Amino acid sequence: MQEFLAPIYLWLKAGHVIFVIFWMAGLFMLPRFFVYHQETEAGSLEDTLWAEREQKLLKIILLPSIIIVWVLGLALMSAIQAHTQGWFHAKFLIVILLSGYHGWMAGYAKKLARGERPLQGKALRMINEVPGIAAAIIVILVVVKPF
């Protein structure tokens, strides 16, 4: 497989970075949508509109992006045998956690659509920092390769 991927490695890398950007943009936007959505009255027209916006973001941007990020990321891992390197293990763990965060947000969107408001706006604003911190750590791991 490594021989097949070598000639297209840079294209895989470019695609991976492009879709990571799309995925991260969605991960930054969705909690902000939640803050605005949570401030609406449950069952109102505005509540319904926010639920629709959240579902569109999840289905049109986030779902395709996470799938492509994973597919291209695993191809890149295979192409350079990254699974043998320590920095990759740390990156992989953070990507798994970020994927779980994505899943949690998809579940939270469903709760908001049902009229449930389990978190306060301040908590949602804090949660909005998760993808930024994860992205910073991942970039350092990939570029610096500290171990």
**DSSP type of residue 101:** H
Average pLDDT over residues 78-82: 90
Q: How confident is the model at residue 5 (pLDDT cuts 50, 70, 90)?
A: confident
Task: Write down the mean pLDDT value for the chain.
Answer: 95
State residue 111's pLDDT score: 97
The CA-atom distances, in angstroms, between 113 and each of 18, 71, 125 are 30, 30, 19
Query: Under DSSP, is residue 80 helix (H, G, I), strand (E, B) or coil?
Result: helix
Q: Which tokens sit at 141?
A: 């791991």
- 20-45 pLDDT, tens per residue? 999 999 999 999 999 999 999 999 99
Q: How confident is the model at residue 1 (pLDDT cuts 50, 70, 90)?
A: low
Buried b (16+ CB within 10 A) or exposed e, 62-74: beebbebbeebbe
State residue 4's pLDDT score: 78
> How large a percentage of the chain has pLDDT more than 70?
99
Q: How many CB atoms lie within 10 A of CB 33?
A: 20
Model pTM above 0.85: yes
How far apart CA 112 and CA 53 sit, in angstroms, is 12
Position 3 pLDDT exceeds 80: no
Q: How many CB atoms lie within 10 A of CB 23?
A: 25
Residue 91 annotated as lining a ligand binding site: yes
> How large a percentage of the chain has pLDDT more than 90?
92
How far apart CA 70 and CA 24 sit, in angstroms, is 13
- 91-114 pLDDT, tens per residue? 999 999 999 999 999 999 999 999
Buried b (16+ CB within 10 A) or exposed e, 76-111: bbebbebeeeebbebbbebbeebeebbeebbebbee
